[in-house]
Amino acid sequence: METISAIETRDRETAYRQTLKDRKRIVVKVGSSSLLHPETGRLDYHRIDLLARELSDLKNQGKDIILVSSGATAAGREVLRSALGNLREHPVHGSRPMAEKQACAAVGQARLMMIYQKFFDDYNQTTAQVLMTRDTVSDPLSKYNLSSTFTELLAMDVIPIVNENDSVATFEFSVGDNDNLSAMVAAVLGADLLILLSDIDGLYTDDPRKNPDARFIPFVDKMDGDILQMGKGSTGSSSGTGGMSTKLHAGLIATRSGCDMIIVNASRLNVLHEIIEGEKRGTLFCADREEDFDLRDYVE
């Protein structure tokens, strides 16, 4: 039988979910694994089209939409497939895996934007590319400039499409994963909802791929030590970089900045509309604004 506290939590979740209808500024993060065919690692145009369509419709409902998209490196690898094969057979003296990845990202970012622009254009939306690194938010002047650019773009009804500037970001100043990057964007923008589209359903008490007894947690009121512990030891998907612990760190940034966050499975992209309609999808982490929130405390 359900306990009183379980019923109370469920009722609180139902009421809280209803308030998501009123969210005005929404950041949506999509990972590489949601944009690729798992069998071939090549771009899934059908899903990219569906994503553009869902986001365009939310935009037409009057919401500010910001898309944080991975996939630059993967798209670059696809374009450079034969060149990379040749390089493997005849390696250029001094070439390094990091440089190769950055070259792929440079090619792939342009390709990715071309694809997004094509699909968003079909739905009558204007998009913009914003590339950033960790420095962009830790340096006050760059952060101010970033925030002004976003504000201006949103005022012009543009959908900014954000990624890490992978072709210049080196280990010392890259964020490394787009879960945290999207939470930083949400914090800079004062967004009220961050949705992480993922290849997992949400938060479990343990990694469900390893532990069949792991329980799903649909609603997190407060991100305490017990919750953070649940991300330990989880690994990311084969194509993306973010496992559950990076998603929970992103959750800390988002919720402490005053933004709700949802982790949800991207297998059906109309889940975005269902979330905004108040349906129970994925794990919802409630905003828990820290009085003197300073993004720099979370990015160093």
Task: Answer whether 284's CB lies under 8 Å from 17's CB.
Answer: yes
> Which has the closest alpha carbon to 112: 63, 58, 74?
74
Residues 117-134 as b/e (b if ≥16 CB within 10 A, e otherwise) read: bebbeebebebbebbbbb
7 exposed, middle or buried (CB, 10 Å; 0-12, 13-18, 19+)? exposed
> Which has the closest alpha carbon to 20: 213, 290, 276, 294?
276
Q: Which is nearer to ligand GLU, 32 or 127 (CB)?
A: 32
Q: From the CB of 3, what's the least distance to ligand GLU, in Å?
A: 38
CA 185-186-190 angle, 5° bins? 120
Q: Which is nearer to ligand GLU, 200 or 276 (CB)?
A: 200
Residues, the chain: 300
Q: From the CB of 240, what's the least distance to ligand GLU, in Å?
A: 4
Q: Which is nearer to ligand GLU, 83 or 168 (CB)?
A: 168
Question: Sign (positive/negative) of CA torsion 188, 191, 197, 203?
Answer: positive
Q: Which is nearer to ligand GLU, 240 or 288 (CB)?
A: 240
Q: Which is nearer to ligand GLU, 23 or 247 (CB)?
A: 247
Q: From the CB of 186, what's the least distance to ligand GLU, in Å?
A: 15
The residue ranges that bind ligand GLU (CB under 6 A) are: 31-32, 70-74, 105, 163-164, 166, 177-178, 240-242
Q: From the CB of 47, what's the least distance to ligand GLU, in Å?
A: 16
Task: Answer whether 150's CB lies under 8 Å from 218's CB.
Answer: no
Q: From the CB of 220, what's the least distance to ligand GLU, in Å?
A: 22
Q: Which is nearer to ligand GLU, 74 or 252 (CB)?
A: 74
Task: Answer whether 130's CB lies under 8 Å from 95's CB.
Answer: no
Distance CA(133)–CA(230), nearest Å, equals 28
Q: From the CB of 219, what's the least distance to ligand GLU, in Å?
A: 25
